[in-house]
Amino acid sequence: MRALVQRVREARVDIAGATVGRCGPGLMILVCAMQGDTEAEAEALAAKIHKLRIFRDDAGKMNLALKDTGGSALVVSQFTLAADTRSGNRPGFSTAAPPDQGERLYLHFATALQGLGVAVETGRFGADMAVHLVNDGPVTIWLDTSL
């Protein structure tokens, strides 16, 4: 699985003008299931993000994790993280999991993160969403369970 994690002061996702999920302060997490991914990868990714030390401590150093700050998370499905841009000008997405598997693993990831004690809200899989966020830092981290 792949994730793009952004430390945020706040974030929200709207569909047709209505807010369906929000968080802040905490993490905005864009998630993509890849072909062959399993629930084990979703759980490992959730555990890694839960412990990722990217929040400032009292000395201003990135030394605290989401689990230490009590922050929340907004998890949004993002199949375009599977983009293959090695040839041509149009990205290919053939390495992304099929939609039914992608949705199942996306929801499993969100549930796993919530099971670790994080307040989690989500977007809606496959929907046309407007994502709003205020980066904190900015801090943006790319994670991939296959690397």
Q: Which positions are annotated as active-site residues?
A: 78-80
Q: Name the maximum alpha-carbon separation found in the chain.
A: 47
Residue whose pair of structure tokens reads 């793009």 in the numeric block:
4
For residue 70, give every residue at least 6 positions away whose Cβ sits within 8 Å of its Cβ, in sequence order, or none: none
Q: What are phi and psi of 37, to 5 degrees?
A: -65, 155
Alpha-carbon distance of 18 to 93, in angstroms, equals 29
User: Could you tell me if 77 and 31 are in contact, meaning their C-beta atoms sit under 8 angstroms apart?
Assistant: yes
